Chains A and B, each alone.
Chain A
Amino acid sequence: MKFLISRYNPDIDNKPHMQEYEVEVSRGMMLRDALLDIKRQDESFSFRHSCGEGVCGSDGVNVNGTNKLACITPISELKEPIEVRPFPGRPIIRDLVVDMTQFIQQYKSVQPWLVREDPMPEQEIRQSPEDRDKLDGLYECILCGCCSTSCPSFWWNPEKFHGPQALLTAWRFLADSRDQATDTRLDALEGPYKLFRCHTIMNCVEVCPKGLNPTKAIGNIKNLMLKNAI
């Protein structure tokens, strides 16, 4: 099967170019397996990957125009020739490896940790199963970056707009019955950019490899803001 891979080595290249590879595909093969085969053919080809089962979030790439996790994308679902590029909108370090600093900065800027004002109990903080259910669809995020790097609003304003990933995380803590920083969290999201640059284009929902819904989380934050304002 024919693959077109974006190649860029700053030591020798001025800009990225597409290079063709032929890979023999087998049943059940994932895109990561094909990329590993290409690396066997050409050790100078670089991409990030690790767990191979969709939990570590290392191997997000752009395949035939869509962001995907290579290790859980079956080759059989892709049209030939398979074009693999780095995530759009991020500075390319080499081949499929991009600089995700800004993405991580946005994640860090939403205070992604549990805040508790009350003294901690001796045992666990109690949480009802119903309250815990509210975290499903939020805590499973693997920080792969597929969502934010497919979001046009994040492409235009990556330094000001938090992007779908960070906002999903913001809601993960707002939705946690144990967290006691609701007001601070909501205040921090005020302004025209951080939250409100989301134009519900919903690319994030479409590409999330874990089936999460950042757009819905963003809507929930807006509703809570409204409720608190009244």
Chain B
Amino acid sequence: MALTKRRFDALIIGAGGAGLNTAIQLANTGARVAVVSKVFPTRSHTVAAQGGVNAALANVMPDNWHWHMFDTVKGSDYLGDQDAIEFMCREAIPTVYELEHNGVPFSRLDNGKIYQRAFGGQSQNFGGAQAARTCAAADRTGHAILHALYQQNVRARTHFFDEYFAIDLIRDDEGAILGALVLEIETGEPLLIEAKSTVLATGGCGQVFRTTSNAHINTGDGMAMALRAGVPLMDMEFFQFHPTGLAGKGMLITEGVRGEGGYLVNKDGERFMERYAPNAKDLASRDVVSRSIMTEIQEGRGCGPNNDHVLLKVDHLGEALINKRLPGIRETGKIFAGVDAAREPLPVFPTAHYVMGGIPTDRYGRALAPEGTGEEVVLGLYAAGECACVSVHGANRLGGNSLLDILVFGRAAGLNVLEHLEQHHRPMNQASVDQAMERLGRWDQKGEGVGVRELRDEFRKTMEDHAGVFRTEEIMLEGVEKLKSLRDQLPDVRLQDHSKVFNTARIEALELENLIDCGMAIAFSALNRKESRGAHSRPDYPSRDDVNWMRHSLYSRKDDSMDFKPVTTKPLSVETFPPKERVY
């Protein structure tokens, strides 16, 4: 049977905040936009973002984008590109206003302006007093934003392919990206979508770890597609462990809890963050707080019968404030830990949360690949959001900068795609179509073999044991060997269910391939970087090494090879923030 084809000006893969904010820029101009998502758009993981989005609106106290920029550069442990960071922090302000105009129900201050709360790593005046920069809709900001963006796309008649799974990118003979092969989950039928521009907005890959705040769907599909198309992934060793996941479960308890005045205690009831970060205390950067919690536990000061977590104290804030500003986490605590945060402290432990690395892009969202001694734009390919790496987060992302990243760069990608609508569709390279079809057809192989679930469980556990918060050469070398042997088992994996209609086993098999590609990128990049910076913490190389390692890592799938590129330290219009010791 002939492969069905559809043609659009732009194809956007992923319907979270990045994809939808790209789509709305295009749809508003009347361009033909297709958004492909493996779940109904409002199921995308942006929906789970709690605390808020950073913008120096100065609604609560003095603030400006330059201070926001300083905090982001410092938070990134000086690995973020300062041109992109300047761009993001400037754009933050109109971006949040645009969101509000799109209907987002932000919480409000008495004067009717958007409510802003304190978050980790924020300061006034380049490292001075705590700032309040995070615009919030209670503790459901991501939900509020995602729904509003979906609603605006419904108004603008964006064409949605709901519950379609992207298999692989399609290229022309010169390597330009011309669209993707996708699978309609309901019917099990493949569909070829041709587009002048393709935007990957598929989110993160937190499912590579066993304990994670990430949803079942966060399997790094776009990052793996890019890898398979020959695009490297950048800075994948930098994976953020959020300090306050619900202990033993992984569900997120927003940093907003600490922003509103909550704090961490150990088994002696000591507010231990005062020792690790005398100024910022509980609102130090996430990497700092996560390491402090791990150290408390390793030194025997953890709470509970097994001394395996710490406590997050909230009840002193009072029931009224908790209900007003943190209703969602009160609900989560009750449901999953049986703890009412208005009465008792919540048991917390760091949980895998966010990948700082991803598909390298410029600040217009265009994907980049090495070419000669430099790099070049991959024609027709864009990436935005968590799957991309601009890089604005460097070695550690600040809370509230993730929603900001997806919105600013989703928008920027959309605007740049608009400039290329005049070009024509080009002929596809049949080999790349065949290759994508093979990837899909491979799962029709019958017979006995390893199960998807078994391999997936084993892989995720290995990642957790060997690529977690603290990483030594020994632990990682062992990990890489184990992961390689698990990857080698992939060809032996067989599905037992070969039915067509809504076959979720097949989807999970395709996701497993993506997880393994992303996991390998993390493991190899981590093993390679011989310093401690941001979220990448090596007890055997405890210091940051700006002489040798102030550079981005590039992992390619071919031969698991590593390459590097320099950090852009020159901003667009202001002075460079030179690397300094990072204290909070």
Contacts and interface: CB of A to CB of B under 8 A. Distances in A.
A94 B497 CA distance: 13
Contact of B48 (A48, A51, A114): A51
Interface in A136-168: 139-140, 142-143
A50 interface: yes
Given A9-B499, A12-B499, A120-B101, A57 B42 contact: yes
B497 A128 contact: no
B154 A51 contact: no
Nearest to A99: B186
A47 interface: yes
Interface string B425-463: 000000000000000000000000001110000000000
Given A97-B502, A113-B151, A43 B451 contact: yes
B338 interface: yes
A50 B216 contact: yes
A56 interface: yes
A155 B113 CA distance: 43
A72 to B, nearest CB: 5
In this complex, the interface size class of chain B, counting residues with CB under 8 Å from chain A, is: 35 or more
Nearest to A27: B338
Contacts of B97: 122-124
Nearest to A100: B40
B101 A50 contact: no
A58 interface: yes
Nearest to A172: B105
Nearest to A108: B154
B47 interface: yes
Contacts of A93: 186, 501-502
A94 B500 CA distance: 10
B451 A53 contact: no
A54 B335 contact: yes
B550 to A, nearest CB: 37
A128 B42 contact: no
B42 A28 contact: no
B559 interface: no
Interface string B111-149: 111100000000000000000000001001001100110
Contacts of A116: 101
B307 interface: no
Contacts of B155: 111, 113
Contacts of B502: 46, 93-95, 97
A57 B496 contact: no
Interface in A56-107: 56-58, 72, 74, 93-95, 97, 100, 104
A131 B335 CA distance: 30
B501 A9 contact: yes
Given A112-B151, A128-B112, A44 B496 contact: yes
A43 B495 contact: yes
Interface string B493-509: 00111011111110000
A24 interface: no
Nearest to A97: B502
A132 B107 contact: yes
A52 B504 CA distance: 17
Nearest to B502: A94
B108 A47 contact: no
Contacts of B268: none
Interface residues of A, number: 54
Interface string B324-346: 00001001100110100000000
Interface string B313-333: 000000000000000100110
A223 interface: no
A42 B117 CA distance: 47
Given A43-B496, A124-B114, A126-B112, A139 B105 contact: yes
B112 A140 contact: no
B331 to A, nearest CB: 8
Interface string A164-197: 0000000000001010000000000000000000
B551 to A, nearest CB: 36
Most buried by A among B44, B151, B152, B332: B151
A140 B140 contact: yes
Contacts of A127: 108, 112
A51 B105 contact: no
Of A47, A108, A113, A143, most buried by chain B (CB within 10 Å of CB) is A113
A143 B216 contact: no
B267 interface: no
Contact of B154 (A95, A113, A126): A113
A114 B148 CA distance: 8
A122 B328 CA distance: 31
Contacts of B555: none
Interface in B83-101: 96-97, 100-101
Contacts of A113: 102-103, 148, 151-152, 154-155
Nearest to A126: B112
A34 B43 CA distance: 21
A54 B106 CA distance: 21
Nearest to A96: B502
A55 B503 contact: no
Contacts of B47: 51, 55-56, 142
Contacts of B101: 114, 116, 120, 124-125
Nearest to A49: B216
B48 A55 contact: yes
B110 A129 contact: yes
Contacts of B505: 43-44, 46
A36 to B, nearest CB: 9
B567 interface: no
B42 A142 contact: yes
B572 interface: no
Given A28-B336, A28-B338, A55-B143, A114 B103 contact: yes
B154 A43 contact: no
B501 to A, nearest CB: 5
Contacts of A25: none
A112 B216 contact: no
Contacts of A227: none
Contacts of B147: 139
Given A51-B216, A123-B57, 14 more contacts: A44-B496, A44-B497, A46-B505, A47-B504, A48-B39, A52-B215, A53-B48, A54-B332, A56-B39, A56-B45, A58-B43, A116-B101, A127-B112, A129-B109
Interface of B: 39-40, 42-45, 47-48, 57, 96-97, 100-103, 105-114, 137, 140, 143-144, 147-148, 151-152, 154-155, 186, 215-217, 251-252, 328, 331-332, 335-336, 338, 451-453, 495-497, 499-505
Interface of A: 9-12, 28, 39-40, 43-44, 46-58, 72, 74, 93-95, 97, 100, 104, 108, 111-114, 116, 120, 122-129, 131-132, 135, 139-140, 142-143, 176, 178
26 contacts: A11-B500, A39-B453, A40-B453, A50-B216, A52-B251, A54-B335, A55-B47, A55-B328, A95-B502, A97-B502, A111-B155, A112-B151, A123-B113, A126-B112, A126-B113, A127-B108, A128-B108, A128-B112, A132-B106, A139-B137, A139-B144, A140-B143, A142-B143, A143-B42, A176-B103, A176-B105
6 smallest CB-CB distances across A and B, nearest first, come from A114-B103, A126-B112, A44-B497, A113-B151, A94-B502, A43-B505
